[in-house]
Amino acid sequence: MRSIASSCALLLLIAAGRMSLAQASSQTETLVVNGRTGEATVVRLNGRTYVDIESLARIAGGSLAFQGNQVALSLPGSSATAPATSPDANNPAERTGMSREFREAAIETLAQMREWATTIANAMKYGYPISDDSAADYQAKAGTSLRQASASASTEADHNALALLTNEFQNVQSWSNELIEAKKNMATAKYAMSNDALRNEPLSQKIINCGHFLGAMLGSGDFKDDLSCH
């Protein structure tokens, strides 16, 4: 690729009719102007290089105006068109904190787990029917959402947060299995007798506390750790 900077003195080919075929050669080449690339016809004559001014303006993102015998070419400064030197948002190695994509997916996973846990809890507390298939359906939805969050994880903070989110999923899964088994064995009367019986169970408390922590952490975008999620 031939790089021709916009700051060079590019001469316009005005008297093209004076050239002979033996003197000039032209071909389409790639121009790089302040980091912007494009195709343009380049003419070489007597050791000099000429570029169509309209192509130059187009590639550089500038403007061209004709006023009588005057040709006005405006080119943006190099700072406006040069490649950004700030961290690349698409390069995980240069990003810090949790990415927006992961946070959105993780928040959705958290919502799916809350719906799963709330449905199971209400079934226990109010005696609603709940089958293995119904519980498995909620689990599958939360699992699918968790896999999407995993696929969205790109930074170190994302992966650290994903580990805590996975722990929460596994705790909800264990808790759900225990309650379904208790319902099969007709051992759910204690949950109907007290509004706080289910909530005060150690695993239930762990899930609630971790859920609150994860919600706040994902909202802030900064990774933190908490024992409730281990």
Range in 52-56, 139-143, 153-157 with the lowest mean pLDDT: 52-56
Q: What mean pLDDT value characterizes the chain?
A: 77
Question: Which of 56 and 98 is assigned the larger pLDDT?
Answer: 98
pLDDT digits (tens, 9 = 90+) for 141-150: 999 999 999 9
For residue 94, is pLDDT > 90? no
- Tell me what pLDDT residue 229 has: 96
Mean pLDDT of 80-100: 56
Q: What is the 3-state secondary structure (H, E, C) of 51-83?
A: ECHHHHHHHHCCEEEEECCEEEEECCCHHHHCC
In terms of average pLDDT, the best of 56-60, 77-81, 136-140 is 136-140
For residue 22, is pLDDT > 50? no
- Tell me what pLDDT residue 17 has: 46
Question: Which of 15 and 212 is assigned the larger pLDDT?
Answer: 212
- Tell me what pLDDT residue 93 has: 41
Mean pLDDT of 216-221: 95
| % of the chain surpassing 70 pLDDT | 64
- Cα 133 to Cα 146: distance, rounded to the nearest angstrom: 20
DSSP, residue by residue, 157-173? HHHHHHHHHHHHHHHHH
For residue 175, is pLDDT > 50? yes
Question: Which of 91 and 212 is assigned the larger pLDDT?
Answer: 212
**Residue 225 CA neighbour count, 13 Å, CB half:** 6
